[in-house]
């Protein structure tokens, strides 16, 4: 059968910037370490296996600027190496301890995986994994796209300057890490409002990823719904999420990751092992936490204490079956769509990268099998990156997508609600102050320039959508609130020092050391535009 459709798998890899040089170790830095061990490195290993076997594959990944900065940071690299050492040691202990039990396969497999991860990270990649991603991009198999510079929620910003800065700082950072400009962007939280497309065009971005209803309720209606990209009036292409392929992976009820053979996320050695044994692998505070070593399978809807041993071979087989099922469904979907629409459909399947490996341990195996089957077993579906697709198909409908995000209920409720709305007056005030500083000091140099650049860093760090999200999901609320407060407070401190001409360079230097994201940042990213704020401008009766 001939070509029936295109498929773009898009993985969004993001973590907030968490780096605390002021402490010897820091709990929340583990988020990065877990994602590296369970997602980023397994994905790279998957790409390498495919490349070695000369399998054609296409994958799109957004590596957000804070993630890139953390992956390239020597301090975090050092800490990750230490983390890997400890984890490998525990895994080796478990390999031995579990010998002769039904858990031995799981323990041995985990120990082997960790040993290989350690070898690759330390010896082969010399702790630098961004160049490995870049290598796959350079060979054409992987398209890396960017994101808002700190994953700031663009529609809830007060000024166009702040939105523009989120994009332009991200583009500059991408160039630093990957040696060329990004072609695409994953809008933070897929949050779109008309007007953002113009800012993307200004920064040379050619496409972005959009939530489904951003397109299905577009103006005018998109003729092909989510099954072909559209072009906004600013000339930027929008690829909307396909609901069907998303549901197959994401859904808690019918999604693949819930299969009984897969590894159970919530049963972890950190809670199972005797405290004396696990204590050396915990943080300084000694509180039991997940270690990442898990030897049980989902089994079914059962209490955690009734979960059965994990069998890696069964899980791998199931992942292959699911990959086949996913491909079969895409083939059927595309055949139907092509017949009904009369055009070759394009399916955009975006996911959180951390779903693959971290939450769904077998996710990378599933992806690998999907790539292999797509390349070798059929010719109806072609995997493609958005950039490649835009080269092949150049004529698109022009529509303006509507207000949308990929959060619960499809709009902005997750990031703006009773629990977290207190942050916006402070953030908006800081935005306006930053624009004011840039207007007042257009040609700063020396210490003043350093202070202005640090103010920009503190502002973008405070804007990360992760903080509002975490407050809503009630996970690490204290930390999220602390980060928001600290960055706003630091920003305000710098602002007043600049305005009152009393710079304390020791303190600025300390902040540069602590919040060292974006060494290349240029405060001119906040250069004022001619018109007033557009997303909800402040008007007083005096203004009128």
Partner 1 sequence: MDRSKLREMTIKSLRAQAESLGVKRVNALKKEELVEAILKAETSASKTGAPSAKVSSQSVKSAKSSEAAEAVKGQASKPTEKSEDKKSDKAEVKKSGKSGGKSMRGAKSLKAAEAEDVEAAEDEAVEAEATEAEAKASEEVSEKVTEKVEEPAPVEPDSIFIDRGAILPEYVPGTCLYALVRDPGTLFVYWNATFESDNGWLLTAYDHAGNVLQSFTTPARRNGRGYFRVPTARVSRVTLSIVREYGEPEVKLESRIRIAQQLGIAQPRPAYDERWVDFQKHEVIYEAPAPGRAPAFAEIYQSVTAPAMTGGGYDRSVENQNISGVNGGSLSSRFGSLPGSSDTLVGSSDRLIRK
How many residues interact with partner 1 (rule CB under 8 A)? 93
Phi, psi (deg, nearest 5) at residue 231: -120, 135
- Binders of partner 1 among 127-156, rule CB under 8 A? 155-156
Least distance from partner 1 to the Cβ atom of residue 69, Å? 21
How many whole angstroms separate alpha carbon 223 and alpha carbon 340?
12
**Residue 20 neighbours by CB under 8 Å, 6+ apart:** 26, 28, 29, 514
String of DSSP letters for 288-316 = ----S---BB--SS--GGGPPBP-HHHHH
User: At 22, phi and psi to the nearest 5?
Assistant: -75, -10
Q: What is the closest distance, in whole angstroms, from the C-beta atom of residue 318 to partner 1 in the complex?
A: 28
Residues 511-540 that bind partner 1 (CB under 8 A): 534-540
- Smallest distance from partner 1 to CB 97, Å: 5
Please tell me what DSSP assigns to residue 403.
S
Per the omega criterion (within 30 degrees of 0), is the bond before 85 cis? no
We find the least distance from the C-beta atom of residue 436 to partner 1, in angstroms, to be 12
Can you state the angle between helices 423-440 and 477-499, rounded to 10 degrees? 30
Q: Return the number of the residue (307 or 338) whose C-beta is nearest partner 1.
A: 338
Rounded least distance, CB 149 to partner 1, Å: 21
Binding mask 307-346 for partner 1 (x = CB under 8 A): ---------------------------------xxxx---
Nearer to partner 1, 70 or 375 (CB): 70
Task: List the one residue from 92, 105, 202, 380 that touches partner 1 (CB under 8 A).
Answer: 92
Is 474 a binder of partner 1 (CB under 8 A)?
yes
Q: Which residues, including other chains, have CB under 8 Å from residue 98's CB and lie 6 or more apart? A: 104, 106, 107, 108, 295
Smallest gap from residue 443 Cβ to partner 1 (A): 27
If one asks whether residue 88 binds partner 1 (CB under 8 A), the answer comes out as: no
3-state secondary structure of 6: strand
Q: Give 185's strand partners.
A: 146, 208
Pick from 82, 86, 126, 223 the residue near partner 1 by CB under 8 A: 223
Q: How far apart are the first and last CA of the chain?
A: 66
**Nearer residue to partner 1 within complex by CB, 474 or 501:** 474
Q: Rule CB under 8 A: which of 14-53 touch partner 1?
A: 22-23, 26-28
Q: Mark residues 433-472: x for contact with partner 1 by CB under 8 A, - for none.
A: ----------------------------------------
Query: Can you tell me which of 274, 303, 443, 501 binds partner 1, judged by CB under 8 A?
Result: 274
Asked if 358 interacts with partner 1 (CB under 8 A), we say no
Does residue 2 touch partner 1 according to CB under 8 A?
Answer: no
Closest approach of Cβ 516 to partner 1, in Å?
18
Nearest distance, CB of residue 206 and partner 1, angstroms:
8
Whose Cβ is closer to partner 1: residue 155's or residue 257's? 155
Q: Which is nearer to partner 1, 230 or 327 (CB)?
A: 230
* C-alpha to C-alpha distance for 322 and 367, rounded to whole angstroms: 10
By DSSP bridging, strand 237-240 and strand 207-210 are parallel
Site string for partner 1, 230-259 (x = CB under 8 A): -x---x-x----------------------
Which residues in 374-397 are b (16+ Cβ under 10 Å) and which e?
Answer: bbeeeebbbbbbbbbbbeebeebe
Q: Does 97 bind partner 1 (CB under 8 A)?
A: yes
Residues 475-514 that bind partner 1 (CB under 8 A): 475-479, 481-486, 488-490, 492
The DSSP annotation for 343-365 comes to S--EEEEEEEGGGBTTTBTTHHH
User: Interaction with partner 1 in 381-440: which residues (CB under 8 A)?
Assistant: 390, 393-398, 400-403, 409-413, 416, 421-422, 424-426, 428-429
- Quick one: 378 or 534, whose CB is closer to partner 1? 534
Cβ 320 to partner 1, closest distance in Å? Answer: 27
Q: Name the one residue in this structure whose structure tokens are 């960055």.
A: 487
One residue of 21, 135, 195, 260 binding partner 1 per CB under 8 A? 195
Q: In the 8-state DSSP scheme, what is residue 220?
A: S
Distances (CA, A) of 261 to 77, 274, 316, 352, 526: 34, 26, 9, 22, 51
For the bound state, the minimum distance from the C-beta of residue 102 to partner 1, rounded and expressed in Å, comes to 15
Q: How far is the CB of 136 from partner 1 (least distance, A)?
A: 26
Q: Judged by CB under 8 A, which stretch of 7-15, 136-144, 191-199, 296-304 contacts partner 1?
A: 191-199
Q: Residue 148 CB: number of other CB atoms within 10 A?
A: 30
We find the least distance from the C-beta atom of residue 286 to partner 1, in angstroms, to be 5
What is the closest distance, in whole angstroms, from the C-beta atom of residue 400 to partner 1 in the complex?
6
Burial environment of residue 147 by CB neighbours within 10 A (0 to 12, 13 to 18, 19 or more) = buried
Nearest Cα residue to 330 out of 366, 259, 368, 383: 383
Alpha-carbon span 39 to 31, nearest angstrom: 11
Cβ distance to partner 1 smaller for residue 224 or 326: 224
Where would I find the beta strands (DSSP E) of 76-233?
Answer: 142-147, 184-186, 207-210, 230-231
Dist. CA 72–CA 134, nearest whole Å: 13
Residue 95, Cβ neighbours under 10 Å: how many? 20
Identify which of residues 42 and 345 has a Cβ nearer to partner 1 in the complex.
345
């Amino acid at each position: 059968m001939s070509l029936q459709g295109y498929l773009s798998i898009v993985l969004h890899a993001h973590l907030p910037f968490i780096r605390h040089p002021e402490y010897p170790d820091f709990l929340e830095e583990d988020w990065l370490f877990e994602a590296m061990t369970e997602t980023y490195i397994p994905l790279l290993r998957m790409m390498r296996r495919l490349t070695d076997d000369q399998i054609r594959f296409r994958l799109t990944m957004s590596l957000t600027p804070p993630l890139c900065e953390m992956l390239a940071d020597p301090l975090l690299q050092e800490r990750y190496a230490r983390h890997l050492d400890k984890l490998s040691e525990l895994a080796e202990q478990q390999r031995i301890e579990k010998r002769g039990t039904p858990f031995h396969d799981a323990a041995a497999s985990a120990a082997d995986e960790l040993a290989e991860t350690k070898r690759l990270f330390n010896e082969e990649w010399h702790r630098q994994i961004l160049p490995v991603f870049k290598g796959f991009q350079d060979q054409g198999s992987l398209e890396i796209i960017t994101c808002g510079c700190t994953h700031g929620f663009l529609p809830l910003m007060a000024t166009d300057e702040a939105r523009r800065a989120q994009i332009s700082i991200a583009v500059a950072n991408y160039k630093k890490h990957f040696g060329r400009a990004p072609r695409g962007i994953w809008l933070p939280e897929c949050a779109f409002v008309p007007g953002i497309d113009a800012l993307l065009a200004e920064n040379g971005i050619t496409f972005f990823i959009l939530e489904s209803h951003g397109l299905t309720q577009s103006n005018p209606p998109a003729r092909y719904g989510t099954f072909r990209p559209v072009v906004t009036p600013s000339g930027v292409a929008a690829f909307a999420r396909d609901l069907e392929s998303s549901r197959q992976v994401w859904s808690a009820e019918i999604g693949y990751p819930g299969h009984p053979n897969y590894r159970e996320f919530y049963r972890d050695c950190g809670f199972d092992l005797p405290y004396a044994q696990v204590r050396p692998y915990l943080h300084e505070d000694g509180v039991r936490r997940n270690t990442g070593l898990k030897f049980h399978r989902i089994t079914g809807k059962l209490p955690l204490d009734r979960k059965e041993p994990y069998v890696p071979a069964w899980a791998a087989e199931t992942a292959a079956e699911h990959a086949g099922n996913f491909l079969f469904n895409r083939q059927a979907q595309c055949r139907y769509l092509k017949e009904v629409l009369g055009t070759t459909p394009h399916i955009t399947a975006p996911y959180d990268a951390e779903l693959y490996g971290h939450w769904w341990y077998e996710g990378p195996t599933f992806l690998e099998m999907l790539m292999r089957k797509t390349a070798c077993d059929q010719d109806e579906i072609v995997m493609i990156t958005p950039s490649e697709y835009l080269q092949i198909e150049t004529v698109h409908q022009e529509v303006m997508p509507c207000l949308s995000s990929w959060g619960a209920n499809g709009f902005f409720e997750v990031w703006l609600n009773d629990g977290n709305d207190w942050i916006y007056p402070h953030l908006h005030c800081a935005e306006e102050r930053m624009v004011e500083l840039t207007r007042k000091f257009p040609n700063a140099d020396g210490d003043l320039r350093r202070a202005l650049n640090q103010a920009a860093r503190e502002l973008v760090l405070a804007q990360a959508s992760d903080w509002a999200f975490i407050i809503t999901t009630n996970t690490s609320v204290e930390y999220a609130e602390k980060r928001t407060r600290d960055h706003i407070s630091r920003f305000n401190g710098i602002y007043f020092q600049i305005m009152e001409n009393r710079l304390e360079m020791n303190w600025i230097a300390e902040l540069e050391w602590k919040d060292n994201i974006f060494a290349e940042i240029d405060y001119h990213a906040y250069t004022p535009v001619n018109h007033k704020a557009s997303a909800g401008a402040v008007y007083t009766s005096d203004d009128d």
